[in-house]
Structure 1
Amino acid sequence: MRHRIITVSLLTIAALYFLTPVYWLAVSATKSSSDLFGTFGFWFHDPHPLDYLHRVLSYDDGIYVRWFLNSLMYAGVGALAATLLSAAAGYALAKYRFPGREGIFNVVLAGVLIPGTALALPLYLLFSEMGLANTYAAVLIPSVVSPFGVYLCRIYAAAAVPDSLLEAARIDGAGEARIFSTLGLRLMTPALVTVFLFQFVHIWNNFFLPLVMLSDSDLYPIQLGLTSWQGYADRQPELYQYTVGGALLSVLPLMVLMGVLQRYWRTGLTEGSVKA
């Protein structure tokens, strides 16, 4: 009982630590710009949440909605492509033997250690030479590469996809592409969900790459757009409130995604726990 109380207490403290900023954000989104600095930050003061959120969505001909859709496109398409690419690469590295396999895997591991900020400027110079700078492709193409996703998929495929099952499928006449699409992807679902969620969150919160690549505000994702609002807030104080409201709205997709996809993690954790 003592260990249980200690565990619950530590988890409660951790939950409060992570949820307190979200609570502050939700409270602050109901206030005007003057109330943000003149009232207690953790309680409401003359709240008008729907009115303020409507102002956020309608400001500057609805530019926030465009930023929101841009972020959904960058994160959704980029995370999906990165997941499929990581699944194919990880499955191939785990289940096929070919010369240079370990060398390729070591290069992938090295890619995990390289921070994305170190690659932003070389990528910009490369995309600029190709005429792709300041386009959707300048953010999307780098987002489909996930060395961590390849690493995770290889480890999971080696453990969760039995060779005997693949051999049985080959004996039945199934081709390699069909085996991968019907057996490999299904058995790797928990790992794929993890890769998709991590990559989605990474792209959604990515700031430096769009900052380097994009100059047209119509192409901005949410993070870059909110930063531009904050830069003008000294001259337009209402942008303080719009920035806070926009930040609250930007959290909602991540919360929904986590709630929807967590059941796949539970399924993956319980596989093999029940004996036949």
Structure 2
Amino acid sequence: MKNSETRKIAFISGRLGSIFVTGVVRGVEEELREKHGDLYRLSHFNAGIETGGREACKTAAEVVENSGADALIVLSFDPGKKAVKAAQEKKMPVVAIEREVQGIHTVNIDNYRAGIEAARYLIKCGSRRIGIITDIQSVVAGAASAERLAGFRYELKKNGMNIKKEDTATADYHTVECGIKTFDMIKGIDKIDALFSVAGDAVAAGFVIEAKSNGVRVPEDIRVMGFDDMEIASAVEPALTTIRQPINMMGRAAVEIIHGCLNGKNKRPKKIRLKTGLVVRESA
């Protein structure tokens, strides 16, 4: 294929309604526009379900076989052996963002370490009974939120603490609306002194909004900590303490891997691990 031809990049995600997905896509589109002009065209595909699994793998395999794409980006799920094998046979580069997958390129953060950092901060603040908001990917081995939660639990256990079942809630999606719903799910709401949203800032913001409407003060009664450092983290009142991950850069890095592959570079799977950082604001 000549460099002057427009090449198609397929992008698959199953986390509909997520601000995180929007941020990654923005990074992909900005990198394409700023550095590569009309060389690439981005096509979006829906994986169908939030947790990945069979339906998402089926979608990935179909996209590889039938979409006419020159490269594939999958977000937050393992595309499966069938899709990976078919892509290898077609010499189609595949990049997984926010998921470690053997045999393909990956762009990720150390979610386990980030979970540890979140727990350390809340413990340092004096928290002794910490609630948690998970998402439905938290039970999927290898998923980002599962790794994040594992690191958080590890650090709590090291300090003689654990997460009680009554202090947990699960958000169906990464939205403010789902965060609002989690407030009533936490049965030990009057006992916890801190809360960490594995499910991200939008969910944490929703929890804060509902807590305030129920007379629960943040951070005086409950410290609240998010994850991602989205725009909403600084827009909600009080502004969220959170763990920042370079969401925009994830999308940009995936594009550069693909560009290298389609120009004869990156012949072996490239693993990019981006840095996170603690952002302290008023909520904790």
TM normalised by structure 1 equals: 0.25
Larger fraction in strand? 2
TM normalised by structure 2 equals: 0.25
The structure whose RCO (Cα within 8 Å, separation 6+) is larger is 1
Larger fraction in helix? 1
